[in-house]
Each structure stands twice: as structure tokens, then as C-alpha cells.
């Protein structure tokens, strides 16, 4: 962990925006608020691109059967953890004791897996969100299953000057220039904004490349849209059919490459 204090962030922003000393128009309270907003946005933006640096887990046990009134098992992750920004994955422990990753699908598939009919219950295979923290698990479980939910938590705002943000390897530069761009917009300087946003985008591209690409050092993940449908074939019962008509059995690996 390479921490950067709120005071350091604010100083970097002031220097890069050339507003040092202009505390009446660009006071510490405003800069702190903009920095905290940018940090929250950066964490979600990077997580959406496939980086798992900021994720954490919540665990529980789902019970057998559908949730009354629904064609699926309803899992309320908000009851397990507060401050969930977005859920990125669900794993269940199978009867044999191995952990299995459930595929993500769209909420439009909520009746695809048997529609909650008693004969349709079985080992869960997919999940879909229909609120920020409420998930549909399908098919409904045939017994109790231990599960793990992977999610991005809300980060408490940095308040004191000594409060820190994990800058990892220069990630604070994105926050700095994101806030600089907003300051320039407020000051209505189009020419300066063009230069600033170009540099911010270069920083983002560099961070994204390093954080989400597999490297010789290992430990990174291939950058991808972990929530989208690209490369995802929806399963429809014992066998599945992709959008291109391709049929596969339950052993087919339809994860992103």
C-alpha cells in the first residue's frame, strides 16, 4: 500500500491547477469534497474495468427453495454488508465441497430457469441484480448453500488532512487531474481544459493498462467488462444456447477469455 494524505492531494491539485493561495474561490472544503467525489468515482470506474484491487467479500448461507412471491431465490446482500456500491460476483459451495462461481445474467432471465416451479430447483447457476444490493439466484437452491458475495464497498470520505488514499503506483494522479478539470470548468477556461482533460485521459489509460492486464509479474487480470454480455452465453436449462444459436452443455466454459 502506498498511501497519499488528503493534504498532499489538495496540494497537488492546487499546484497543477495553479490556484495556490486562491483560498477564497478555491477553499479547502471545496477541494476536499471534489477529491472525495473523484476517489469514489475512480474506485468504481477501475473496478468496472476488471481490476479487483478495491473489492471485499460478505458471506452467508442461502436456504432451499424460492422466495415467496418470486420465481427465484432472493438474496439481500444489503443485509450482510452496508455501503455496497456494486456487486461483482457470487460464489457458492457445491455439495462436493468445491466453490463454484455463478455466472452473471440479466434480470430479463428471471423466469428462464423454471420460473420457480418446484421441479426447477437445483444447484444455483446464475445471478442477476435488480436493485443495488438485491440479487436473484437461479435456479432456486435445492438445499442450503454457503455463498460468498464479492462487492465494491463505499469508501468513507477523507476528512482530516492526515486521512489517506491508497495511491498504489501513482493512481492519485487521476484524482488530481480529475479535480483540476472540474476547477477549470468552473473557471471557464476552455483552452486549459482541453490540455488538462487530455492529460487526465492519458493517466487513466496508463493506470488501466497496468492494473488490468496480465503481466510477467502475474497477479493482474485481463481488462474486460465483468458485468456486460460480451462473450457471455446465457444458460437455459441443462444445456444452454448462446445468442448466436450455439448449444453447449453445463461443462462448457463460457467465461471471458
| Band of residue 189 on the pLDDT scale cut at 50, 70, 90 | confident
Query: CA Rg, the chain, in Å?
Result: 22
Instruction: Report how far apart, in Å, the C-alpha atoms of 74 and of each of 63, 85, 135, 153 are.
Output: 10, 19, 6, 21
Name the band, by pLDDT with cuts 50, 70 and 90, for residue 255: very low
Confidence of residue 120 (pLDDT cuts 50, 70, 90): confident
**What digits encode the pLDDT tens for the residues 210-254?**
887 644 444 444 444 445 443 443 444 444 444 444 444 444 343
> What residues contact 75, with CB distance under 8 A and at least 6 apart?
60, 62, 90, 127, 134, 135, 136, 137, 147, 149
C-alpha cell at 208: 488501466
Task: Name the pTM for this structure.
Answer: 0.76
**What is the average pLDDT across 147-151?**
96
As a whole-number percent, the residues of the chain with pLDDT over 70 amount to 81
Q: Are 177 and 51 in contact (CB under 8 A)?
A: no
- Identify the pLDDT of residue 116: 66
Give percent of the chain above pLDDT 90.
61
pLDDT digits (tens, 9 = 90+) for 39-49: 999 999 999 99
SS3 138: strand
- By CB atoms closer than 10 A (0-12, 13-18, 19+), residue 26 is buried
The pLDDT value given to residue 113 = 84
Query: From start to end of 84-235, where are the E strands?
Result: 84-93, 99-101, 103-104, 126-129, 134-138, 145-153, 164-166
Report, as an integer, the average pLDDT of 26-55: 94
The DSSP 8-state label assigned to residue 141 in this structure reads: B
Mean pLDDT value across residues 67-94: 93
pLDDT band at 107 (very low <50, low <70, confident <90, very high): very high
Amino acid at each position: 500500500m502506498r498511501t497519499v494524505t488528503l493534504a498532499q492531494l489538495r496540494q497537488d491539485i492546487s499546484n497543477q491547477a495553479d490556484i495556490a493561495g486562491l483560498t477564497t474561490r478555491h477553499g479547502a472544503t471545496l477541494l476536499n469534497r471534489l477529491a472525495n467525489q473523484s476517489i469514489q468515482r475512480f474506485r468504481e470506474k477501475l473496478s468496472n474495468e476488471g481490476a479487483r484491487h478495491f473489492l471485499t467479500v460478505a458471506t452467508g448461507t442461502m436456504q432451499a427453495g424460492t422466495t415467496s412471491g418470486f420465481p427465484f431465490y432472493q438474496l439481500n446482500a444489503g443485509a450482510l454488508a452496508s455501503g455496497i456500491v456494486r456487486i461483482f460476483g457470487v460464489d457458492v459451495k457445491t455439495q462436493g465441497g468445491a466453490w463454484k462461481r455463478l455466472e452473471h445474467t440479466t434480470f430479463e432471465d428471471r423466469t428462464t430457469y423454471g420460473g420457480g416451479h418446484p421441479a426447477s430447483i437445483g444447484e444455483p447457476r446464475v445471478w442477476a441484480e435488480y436493485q443495488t444490493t438485491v440479487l436473484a439466484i437461479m435456479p432456486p437452491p435445492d438445499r442450503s448453500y454457503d455463498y460468498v458475495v464479492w462487492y465494491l464497498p463505499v469508501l468513507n470520505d477523507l476528512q482530516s488532512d492526515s486521512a489517506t488514499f491508497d495511491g498504489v503506483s501513482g493512481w492519485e494522479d487521476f484524482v488530481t487531474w480529475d479535480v483540476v478539470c472540474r476547477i477549470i470548468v468552473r473557471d471557464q477556461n476552455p483552452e486549459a481544459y482541453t490540455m488538462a482533460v487530455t492529460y487526465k485521459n492519458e493517466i487513466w489509460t496508463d493506470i488501466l493498462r497496468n492494473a488490468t492486464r496480465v503481466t510477467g509479474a502475474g497477479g493482474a487480470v485481463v481488462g474486460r467488462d465483468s458485468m456486460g454480455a460480451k462473450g457471455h452465453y446465457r444458460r437455459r436449462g441443462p444445456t444452454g444456447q448462446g445468442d448466436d444459436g450455439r448449444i453447449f452443455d453445463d461443462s462448457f466454459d463460457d467465461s471471458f477469455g
